[in-house]
Each structure stands twice: as structure tokens, then as C-alpha cells.
């Protein structure tokens, strides 16, 4: 299980995925990009809110990842929503494909970031949350926030 630590510059974060899914496992994947897309990512112009991942013919692709066109790229710019290939080891893809056969398990992009000069995507194996799970999470966050507030008031008062 290839756990990743985001040590580079974070480009995009998928907060919606953490709200809608339980993240069971995470993997670090490379991504096949063109030159102007990398320049656009360096400027932080990327969105993965609506992105999803599919496995086709033993390869992994990300759909709906929006990389804004590079301003100075003219004819070399690619379609902002084009399908991008994720680069993982074959055994990692097969392991995820096996888990996806289980009921309710899917693969979602969690983060896009730079690791050195390379663009990486953190991919999460996720299980969908029910409405009551989301409500429980919100209640837990409110409780923690309230406890933090009480702690601050007690220490400064």
C-alpha cells in the first residue's frame, strides 16, 4: 500500500471527496500531461471537484479534471477537460480494480501536487457515505470546534 505524503506544492484539493466518501486507502500516481498543461499547473490553475477515475483496458484515466489553458500557449493548448492518463504500476491498478468489484467502492482523485518537478495525483480508494454518516461527521466537527473554543476561552480568561 503506497501511502503518500504531500511534501511538494499543493495545486488542487478535493474536499468534496472527503465529504462524500470514506477514504479507505491512498495511492500516489503520476499523470501524463502536455507542456502547456504543466505551465498552467505551475500557476495553480486546476480543479478536480467534478473529477472521477475509470479503469479501462488495464489503464487508469481521470475524467473531468479541469486544467485551464495556459495564457501564452496559443495553438499548443489542449482541451481543458481532456481525459488524462494516470501512471501507476500494473499490480496497483489490478489491486484497485479488484477492490472496485466490491459493492460501493470507487476510485477518486484527492489531491494534485508537485513532487520535485513532477506532477502527482493522490488517488483514494473510497466507499460512499450515506446521509446519516455525513450528518454524524458534521456533528463531530461541531463538537471538536466547540471544545477548541472552550479550551481557548479557558486559557485566555
CATH of residue 96's domain is 2.40.280.10
Residue 150 lies in a domain: no
Lowest mean pLDDT among 29-38, 44-53, 130-139: 130-139
pLDDT digits (tens, 9 = 90+) for 47-105: 888 888 888 888 889 888 888 777 776 666 666 678 888 888 988 888 888 888 877 78
Residue 52 lies in a domain: yes
- How many other β-carbons are positioned within 10 Å of the β-carbon of residue 83? 12
Residue 137 lies in a domain: no
Residue 62 lies in a domain: yes
Q: According to the model, what pLDDT value does residue 148 have?
A: 82
Domain total of the chain: 1
Q: Are strands 21-31 and 10-13 parallel, antiparallel or unpaired?
A: unpaired
Q: According to the model, what pLDDT value does residue 3 have?
A: 46
- Per the structure, the complete domain to which residue 42 belongs is given by 10-130
100 membership: H or E segment, kind and range: helix 90-100
Q: Determine if the pTM surpasses 0.75.
A: no
Give yes or no for a contact between 93 and 53, defined as CB atoms under 8 angstroms apart.
no
Q: Which residues contact 73 (CB under 8 A, 6 or more apart)?
A: 36, 39, 40
Instruction: Please give the mean pLDDT across all residues of the chain.
Output: 81
Residue 14 lies in a domain: yes
Residue 94 lies in a domain: yes
Residue 105 lies in a domain: yes
Residue 103 lies in a domain: yes
Percent of residues, the chain, with pLDDT higher than 90: 3
Sign of CA dihedral 88, 91, 92, 97: positive
Give yes or no for a contact between 42 and 129, defined as CB atoms under 8 angstroms apart.
no
Amino acid at each position: 500500500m503506497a501511502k503518500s505524503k504531500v511534501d511538494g506544492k499543493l495545486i488542487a484539493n478535493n474536499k468534496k471527496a472527503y465529504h462524500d466518501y470514506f477514504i479507505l486507502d491512498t495511492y500516489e500516481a503520476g499523470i501524463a500531461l502536455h507542456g502547456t498543461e504543466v505551465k498552467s499547473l505551475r500557476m495553480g490553475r486546476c480543479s478536480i471537484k467534478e473529477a472521477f477515475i475509470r479503469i479501462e483496458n488495464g489503464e487508469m484515466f481521470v475524467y473531468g479534471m479541469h486544467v485551464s489553458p495556459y495564457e501564452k500557449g496559443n495553438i499548443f493548448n489542449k482541451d481543458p477537460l481532456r481525459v488524462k492518463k494516470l501512471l501507476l504500476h500494473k499490480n496497483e491498478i489490478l489491486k484497485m480494480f479488484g477492490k472496485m468489484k466490491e459493492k460501493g467502492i470507487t476510485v477518486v482523485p484527492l489531491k494534485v501536487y508537485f513532487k520535485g518537478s513532477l506532477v502527482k495525483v493522490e488517488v483514494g480508494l473510497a466507499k460512499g457515505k450515506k446521509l446519516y454518516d455525513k450528518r454524524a461527521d458534521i456533528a463531530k466537527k461541531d463538537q471538536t470546534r466547540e471544545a477548541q473554543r472552550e479550551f481557548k476561552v479557558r486559557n485566555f480568561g
